[in-house]
Amino acid sequence: MADGKNKDKDNLTPVPLSVMTGQGNFFSLTVRKREKNEQGKVVWKEEEKTYDIAGIPLEMVEEYLADNISIGSQLFNLKGEKAKQIQNKWLPLVVSKNGIGLELDDLLKDGLDTKNLRELWRAVVDLTGF
Q: What is the mean pLDDT, run by run of 10 residues, along the chain of 130 residues?
A: 50 53 71 89 91 90 90 82 92 92 93 90 85
Report residue 33 CA to chain centroid gap.
Answer: 19
**pLDDT value at position 69?**
86
Q: Where are the domains of the chain?
A: 7-128
pTM greater than 0.75: no
pLDDT of residue 26: 80
Check residue 3 and give its pLDDT.
47
C-alpha pair distances (Å), 28 with each of 2, 49, 92, 124: 42, 5, 17, 12
pLDDT the model gives residue 37: 92
